[in-house]
Amino acid sequence: MKAVVYRGPFEIATEEVEDPRIEKPSDAVIKVTTANICGSDLHPYEGRAPLDAGMVLGHENMGVVVEVGAAVERVKVGDRVSVPFNIACGTCRNCDAGWTNACLRANPSGKPTAGYGYPMMGPYRGGQAEYLRVPWAEFNLLKLPPGTEYENDFTMLSDIFPTGYHGTELAGVRPGDTVAVYGAGPVGLMAAHSAMLRGAAQVFVVDKEADRLALAEKFEASPINFAQTDPTEAILEATGGLGADCGIEAVGYQAHDAAGHEHPEMVLDKLVEAVRSTGRIGVVGVYNPEDPGAATEGAKKGRIGFDYGSVFDKNIAMGHGQCPVKRYNRHLRDLIVAGRARPGAIVSHELPLEEAARAYDQFDKRIDGWTKVLLHPAAA
User: Which spans of this chain sit near ligand NAD (rule: CB under 6 A)?
Assistant: 38-40, 159-160, 163, 182-188, 206-209, 212, 226, 250-252, 255-256, 266-267, 284-286, 322-323
Q: Which is nearer to ligand NAD, 65 or 190 (CB)?
A: 190
186-197 and 160-170 helices, crossing angle to 10°: 60
98 burial type by CB count under 10 A (0-12 exposed, 13-18 middle, 19+ buried) = exposed
* CA 27 to chain CA centroid, nearest Å: 24
95 binds, among Zn ion, ligand NAD, none (CB under 5 to 8 A by kind): Zn ion
274 binds, among Zn ion, ligand NAD, none (CB under 5 to 8 A by kind): none
Min. distance of Cβ 184 from ligand NAD in angstroms? 5
* CA 52 to chain CA centroid, nearest Å: 21
Q: Are strands 349-351 and 373-375 parallel, antiparallel or unpaired?
A: parallel
Q: Which is nearer to Zn ion, 180 or 250 (CB)?
A: 250
92 binds Zn ion (CB under 5 A): yes
- Reference 208, options 253, 164, 247, 259; nearest CA is 259
103 binds, among Zn ion, ligand NAD, none (CB under 5 to 8 A by kind): Zn ion
In angstroms, the CA 16 to CA 3 distance is 6
In angstroms, the CA 141 to CA 162 distance is 15
Cα dihedral 131, 136, 140, 144 in deg (nearest 10):
50
Site string for Zn ion, 100-119 (x = CB under 5 A): ---x-x--------------
273 binds Zn ion (CB under 5 A): no
Q: Which is nearer to Zn ion, 89 or 271 (CB)?
A: 89
- C-alpha separations of 114 from 24, 97, 130, 325 in Å: 17, 16, 21, 12
Three-state DSSP at 47 gives: coil
Min. distance of Cβ 322 from ligand NAD in angstroms? 4
251 binds, among ligand NAD, Zn ion, none (CB under 5 to 8 A by kind): ligand NAD
Q: Using CB under 5 A, which residues numbered 42 to 81 contact Zn ion?
A: 60
89 binds, among ligand NAD, Zn ion, none (CB under 5 to 8 A by kind): Zn ion
Amino acid at 253: Y
Min. distance of Cβ 286 from Zn ion in angstroms? 10
Q: Which is nearer to ligand NAD, 163 or 329 (CB)?
A: 163
Interface ranges with Zn ion (CB under 5 A): 38, 40, 60, 88-89, 92, 95, 103, 105, 159
